[in-house]
Amino acid sequence: MHKEVSPGFVTVVAWITLATLAAAQGQAPAPFKVHELTRNVYWVEGGGGNSGVIVGDKGVIIIDAKTTPNGGKELLDDVAKITPKPVTTVILTHSDGDHVNGLAAFPSGITIIAHENNKKEQEAALAAGGRGAPPAGHLPTRVVTRNKENLKIDGVKLELLHWAPAHTSGDLIVYLPGQKIVFTGDIIAMQLPDPLIHLEKNGSSEGWITTTKGITALDADQFVPGHGDVQTKAVLQKRLSDAEAKRAKIKELVGQGKSLEEIRVAVGDAPRAQGGGSGGRGPAFASFTEVVYKELTKKGA
C-alpha cells in the first residue's frame, strides 16, 4: 500500500522509471489490487495512477486508464472479474500519461470524457510525441466545458467538477453524491508531501488551493487520490491548511527579496540532490516551493 514519505520523495516519473527497470531485469510487476469502496464502486491500485471502476445498469464506467497498454489490459481483465458488463465509458481526471496511456488496450467506440483543456494537452503531447502522448484513436470523444456537469451514465448519477487550473489546466474531479465518494485525480497524490503542480501544463498553486477547498466542501466520506490509499476529509483538510501556510510563507519571503535556495531552506525543503529533486532516483517535477516562487516572481505577478 502507498504511504506518505519524507521530503526526499520518489516522484511519479521515478516510480515509472523504477518499474520499467524492474521489467527490463525480468522482475514481474506486482498484480493490481482491486478494492471495494461500496456496492458496485471500486478502486484499482497499481500500474500508475489509481483507477476507479463503477458498475452501472448495463455497462461499466472507468476512471483513469493506467500507464501502458499492458496496464490497460490488466485493468480490463480485473473489471471482467467483477462483472461481465462491458466497459462503455472512461472518465479522465487529467492528461498525464500514467492515467491516460493504458487506453491503448481499450476497445474502440467507447466514450472518453475529459475536460476540454485535458484534450488540448493530449493533442499537444501527441503532436510533440512527448510525455503524456495518448494512444492513437483514443483521444477524448466528449469534453467538459463547464465548472460542473451533472451526468447519469448507465443509471449512475455523478458530477464532474472543475474549479480552476490546479495540477494541470484540465483537471476533473469525479463525485458520486449518492455514494459520497470522490475521485480526486492528482490534485491529491499521497506519495508526495506537497501538492504536485505541472507548470508546463499551466497548473497553479492558487488553483490547487481553490480546487482542494471545493473538494473538501463536498458531502463525501471517501476520497480516492490519484496515487495512494483512500483518504478521509480530515486528511485532505490538513494537506490544504499545510499548503496554504507554506504558500503564505513563501510569499512573505519573496516579498523580502529572498532567493529560491534561501526560501527552500527557510520552509524546510530537503536539500536538492545533484541532477534533480528526486534524490538522484530519476527525473523530478518542480517542487511546490519552486512552483510558488516562479508564480510570484514572474513578470506581472
Instruction: Note the pLDDT of residue 4.
Output: 34
Domain count, the chain: 1
Instruction: Note the pLDDT of residue 276.
Output: 40
Residue 246: pLDDT band with limits 50, 70, 90 = very high
Q: Establish if 95 belongs to a structural domain.
A: yes
70-114 pLDDT tens trace: 999 999 999 999 999 999 999 999 999 999 999 999 998 999 999
Q: Establish if 59 belongs to a structural domain.
A: yes
Q: Write down the residue that cell numbers 516519473 correspond to.
A: 13
**CATH assignment at residue 120:** 3.60.15.10
The share of the chain scoring above pLDDT 70, in percent, equals: 85
Q: Establish if 288 belongs to a structural domain.
A: no
276, 249 Cβ separation under 8 angstroms: no
79, 87 Cβ separation under 8 angstroms: yes
288, 246 Cβ separation under 8 angstroms: yes
147, 140 Cβ separation under 8 angstroms: no
Instruction: Note the pLDDT of residue 301.
Output: 63
Q: Establish if 249 belongs to a structural domain.
A: no
State yes or no: pLDDT of 29 exceeds 90.
Answer: no
For residues 77 and 145, give the distance between their C-alpha atoms in angstroms, rounded to a whole number.
Answer: 32
Residues 6 or more apart in contact with residue 26 via CB below 8 angstroms:
none
Q: Establish if 242 belongs to a structural domain.
A: no
32-79 pLDDT tens trace: 999 999 999 999 999 999 999 999 999 999 999 999 999 999 999 999
Q: Establish if 289 belongs to a structural domain.
A: no
Instruction: Note the pLDDT of residue 285.
Output: 83
Strands (E), the chain: 33-38, 41-45, 51-55, 60-63, 87-91, 111-115, 142-144, 148-153, 156-161, 173-176, 181-189, 222-227
Q: Establish if 109 belongs to a structural domain.
A: yes
Per the structure, the complete domain to which residue 174 belongs is given by: 12-232
Q: What is the DSSP string of 226-290?
A: EESS-B-HHHHHHHHHHHHHHHHHHHHHHHTT--HHHHHHHHTPPPPBTTBSSTTSS--PPPHHH
Q: Establish if 246 belongs to a structural domain.
A: no
pTM confidence score: 0.88
For residues 202 and 82, give the distance between their C-alpha atoms in angstroms, rounded to a whole number.
Answer: 37
